[in-house]
Amino acid sequence: MTNPEKVYDFLKKNIRNGFCDDCLEKRVGVNRHEVNTIASTLALFPKEFTRVSATCPQQCSSRDKLVTQAI
Ligand SMILES: [Zn+2]
Domains in the chain, CATH or no CATH each: 3-70 (1.10.10.10)
pLDDT in tens, 8-38: 999 999 999 999 999 999 999 999 999 999 9
Ligand 1 centre to CA of 24 (Å) is 7
How far does the centroid of ligand 1 lie from the alpha carbon of residue 42, in Å?
17
State pTM to two decimals: 0.94
What is the whole-number distance in angstroms between the Cα of residue 47 and the centre of ligand 1? 22
Q: What are residue 65's phi and psi, to 5 degrees?
A: -135, 170
Provide the pLDDT confidence category of residue 53 given band limits of 50, 70 and 90: very high
Distance CA 57, CA 37 (A): 20
- pLDDT given for residue 68 in this prediction: 98
User: Torsion over CA of 43, 26, 60 and 46, rounded to 10 degrees?
Assistant: 10
Q: What is the model's pLDDT at position 52?
A: 97
- What is the signed CA dihedral for 49, 32, 58, 47, rounded to 10 degrees? 0
- Residue 1 alpha carbon to ligand 1 centre in Å: 23
CB atoms within 10 A of CB 50: 17
Closest C-alpha to 35, from 69, 3, 71: 3
